[in-house]
Structure 1
Amino acid sequence: MTWKTVSASVVGTSHTQQGGECQDTCLVQSLIDRNQQQRLVCLLSDGAGSARFAAKGADLACSTALTAIEHTFKTTNHIDGSAVEGWICAVRAAVTAAANESDATSRDYACTLLGAVLGPESSVFFQIGDGAIVVASEDVQGVVFWPEAGRYANMTNFVTDDDSLMHLQIAVTSSPAAELALFSDGLQRLALTYESQTPYSPFFDPMFFVLRRKSLSECEALTVQLAQFLDSKQVNERTDDDKTLVLATRRVV
């Protein structure tokens, strides 16, 4: 099973106008489990705009989750809800430690967290907060978890919240995924059809069409093109937020 991937994060125009930085982070990593099988790990975190260390929180959430997932595969090949909860607890512990060192609070590092762990025979998905994961298996494409809103308008839940485990969504499938997309909430209105709660195919189809036809060596060059698209006029006219998109496919044409 060979995965081809491309990902990019671009600062939103609302942040550039204020001299701010991109507060999104994504990580894509191929791991080998105890049975010498490949697992593709995709992680995405969106730092809260109101948080003092939002970008650091997003970076820490992704890097800590990846380390925790790597540790899990060194001890077992079986992933269940308890394992995912352990990854979230590891992220919360890392954020608490960072906050204590900086004379800050966990809320200063507030961020969402989305993740997918794809294996040859099964997949695991998890999410806290908004943004979304789109997955295709055979000829079926759908949204794994519909973006979760918080208690108030324009709010969401964060992995750094005290009650984050209550808002943790987990899905374990027994069928392998063929294609995957993760994106932050800055792309939700472009990538989702809200009336039917389905992916907006005209957004994804052209990008997957290109990715399927690229060789592994050519995928790195796609990063620049993806970043240019996310920062294009037609995208920025519809969203001023930070934008992150991760695409992965094992389909070939």
Structure 2
Amino acid sequence: MPVDASSARHGPTLAEARQWSALAVATTGLAHLEATPPVPCQDAAGTRTTPRPVLVVADGAGSSSASDIGARAVVSAMLRLIETLEPQLAWLLDGPQEHSRETLKQFAELLVSHAQGTLIDRAAELSRPVRDLRCTLLLAVLGRERLLWLKVGDGELVLERAIPEPSSSSELAEGETPTLVPQLATLGERGKGEFANQTQFVDERLEVGQIQCGSETTEALTGIALMSDGAAEKLVSYDGTQVSGQLSHWLNDLRQERLRQRDLVRCFYSESFCRGTSGDDRSIALASCRLGDKR
């Protein structure tokens, strides 16, 4: 990978080429608030839009006593690392050249290795075992041509694309533009929760084979959503095949500059959202671009 920023640049930065907005929030679940004593929020979420959009969500293990500290540390470390690695990301995601899956995999492993090191160092500072700080990790970073994503453990990654409405496409007169509608789809395999013994965490024992990662084209991409399993309870079906249209409403409000953190917090604590759920912490990171912007 190149380390010279000038050699890796392909035209304007993504932030310059498209107008992206981003927002993140993490809320304490009702089960944690009502516990004796109350348990702090073990989720953390963060976003940046410059020099390129990046979203990070971490969900601390419920059985780990300081996982709230670990989740916050990992999110901060990932945001900083992505900024530091901008020349490499420009080479990897912005140019027309397709890179091998192995190259993308190695880069994702580098990111996770840094997250592991962050927890190991933080645990040493606190004189705690790393297990006390372990957390899941979701990350998406956007380039001009491709999006890189990675996943350790549960939670959901969702992409929104603008596709022609089938009914309008078949009835178009010559020269007319089809009506675009949002299409939502998940990435990665499902996580089933810590206590089903199927969730992995970022800690010193994490193996390379437990890291999910991949890349997606940015063609027609209009929105990205990362969420912890607590938020996904009401937004994504258990098998990942159905995604709530609420995400598209939020993404549209975000691109229209109408969505605030308080709107998400109110929704997460609403009776309709809490009914029939586990009361787990809820975190989400969103990014959306204006529909008229071109790649």
Give the alignment's TM-score, normalised by structure 2: 0.75
TM-score (norm 1): 0.87
Aligned partner of 1:12 in structure 2 is 29
Contact residue 120 and residue 204 of structure 2 kept, 8 A: no
Gaps of 5+ in 1: 33-38
The DSSP-based 3-state class of the residue aligned with 2:49 is strand
Deviation at 1:25, TM superposition (A): 0.4
Counterparts in 2 of 1:164 and 1:112: CA distance versus 1, 3 Å: farther
Highest CA radius of gyration, 1 or 2?
2
CA 1:245–1:118 in structure 2 vs 1: closer, same or farther (change >3 Å)? same
Q: Tell me the equivalent position of 2:285.
A: 246
Percent identity reads 26
8 A Cα contact 2:191 2:198, kept in partner: no
How many residues align structurally? 241
Deviations 1:161-205 (A, max 9, x none): 51342211111123343211111001223111235x324233323
Residue 78 of structure 2 is matched in structure 1 by 65
Whichever residue aligns with residue 50 of structure 2, its letter is L
Measure, in 1, the Cα distance between the counterparts of 2:218 and 2:252.
23
Q: Specify the alignment match of 1:149 in structure 2.
A: 192
Are the aligned partners of 1:25 and 1:62 in contact in 2 as well (CA < 8 Å)? yes
Note the C-alpha offset of 1:117: 0.3
C-alpha separation between the residues in 2 aligned to 1:204 and 1:99? 36
Q: Output the CA distance in 2 between the equivalents of 1:149 and 1:45.
A: 16
Tell me if 1:192 matches 2:230: no
Could you tell me how far apart the structure 2 residues matched to 1:164 and 1:67 are?
23
> Contact 2:73–2:118 (CA<8 Å) still a contact in 1?
yes
CA distance in 2, matches of 1:47, 1:206: 28
Partner of 2:214: 171
Q: Which SS does the other structure have where 1:156 is aligned? A: coil
| CA deviation profile, 1:122-168 (whole Å, cap 9, x unmatched) | 11010000000000233242101132237861651101151342211
Is the Cα contact below 8 Å between 2:152 and 2:202 reproduced in 1?
yes
Greater Cα offset, 138-147 or 1-10: 138-147
CA contact (8 A) 1:158 1:164 kept: no
Query: Against the structure 1 CA distance between its residues 161 and 152, is the aligned structure 2 distance closer, same or farther, given a 3 Å change threshold?
Result: farther
CA separation of 1:76/1:4 partners in 2, compared to 1, >3 Å: closer, same or farther?
A: closer
Structure 2 SS opposite 1:137: strand
Structure 1 ranges of 4+ moved more than 4 A: none
**Match for residue 24 of structure 1 among 30, 43, 53:** 43
